[in-house]
A and B are shown apart, each in its own frame.
Chain A
Amino acid sequence: MVTSTATMGRSGLYDWFVQRVSAVILLAYFLVCVGWMLVNNGFGYTAWTALFSQTWMRVFSLLALISLAGHAWVGLWVVFTDYLTERMLGPAGKVLRVLAETISAIIMVIYFIWGIKILWGL
């Protein structure tokens, strides 16, 4: 089996699965948030913080955050390994690809820690 150090689970099948499960979770989260905003149109600070102080919403938000990390990692890996390559860009391709993967991984970690701080820093 061909493996790669930069894939999510070192195998394409696992990545395929992560991409879909995380997508469904993120879609559900997106719909719940938009649905809540539509139902509570013109909501204020009190209702907004009440929503995010509930355990189910914090767990759901954390789940969405974890899904985002996996989803973005697999998605960006697919894009980077298709366009930032030696074939497309010459010898610089490899350097640019590893650089892009590293920078996006750092941003993802920052998003993740920031998200936890927002959720539990209330």
Chain B
Amino acid sequence: MRLPITAWASIAHRASGVFLFAGIGVLLWALDVSLSSQSGFDSLTVSLSHPLFKAVLWVVVSALIYHSLAGIKHLINDTGVGETMAGGILGVRIVLAVSIVLILLAGAWIW
């Protein structure tokens, strides 16, 4: 499909939101286990040393980062800033650039 970059950003904002609805379940589970007891906390620490768990966490955190930044862009647009086509494209480029940087930093932190 030939769509402008702003459309893809909007679709990604929605997709990441739907994905996060499931991702929240993973985060709640981790919070539950980590707060339940010392042994629960330790078992989560062990689990998180597994590459598969790290990958799942990274994907969820990445979705959270993109969804947050796209949301901040939305709030800025609400004030009337960046509502033109050129402004919209610039906004998406900034969101994507900052997302990539933060997602890489999050990856480095998790690993």
Q: What is A's interface to B at a CB cutoff of 8 Å?
A: 20, 23-24, 27, 30, 44-45, 48-49, 52, 68, 72, 75-76, 78-79, 104, 107, 111, 114-115, 117-118, 122
Chain A residue with minimal CB distance to B42?
A45
> Chain B residues near A45 (CB, 8 Å)?
34, 37-38, 41-42
Q: Which residues from chain A contact B38 at a C-beta distance below 8 Å?
A: 45
A-B CB proximity, top 8 nearest: A45-B41, A45-B38, A75-B17, A118-B32, A23-B71, A79-B14, A72-B21, A118-B31
In the complex, per-residue mask of B29-47: 1 if CB is within 8 Å of any chain A CB, else 0:
0011011011001100000
Check B35–A27 contact: CB distance below 8 A: no
Whether B24 is near chain A, meaning CB under 8 Å from some CB there, is: yes
Instruction: Determine whether the beta carbon of A30 is less than 8 Å from that of B64.
Output: yes
Select from chain A the residue with minimum beta-carbon distance to B33.
Answer: A118
Contact partner of B35 (CB less than 8 A), chosen from A23, A48, A107, A111, is A48
Contact at A114–B71, with CB atoms within 8 Å?
no
Nearest residue (CB) in A for B17 is: A75
**Majority SS at the chain A contact face:** helix
Contact A122 B35 (CB under 8 A): yes
Nearest residue, chain B, Cβ from A65: B28
Q: Please name all residues of chain B whose beta carbon is closer than 8 Å to the beta carbon of A78 when the two chains form the complex.
A: 14
- Residues of A with C-beta under 8 A to B31: 118
With A30-B68, A49-B35, A52-B35 known to touch, is A79 a contact of B17 (CB < 8 Å)?
Answer: yes
Tell me which of A30, A104, A115, A117 contacts B21 (CB under 8 A). A104
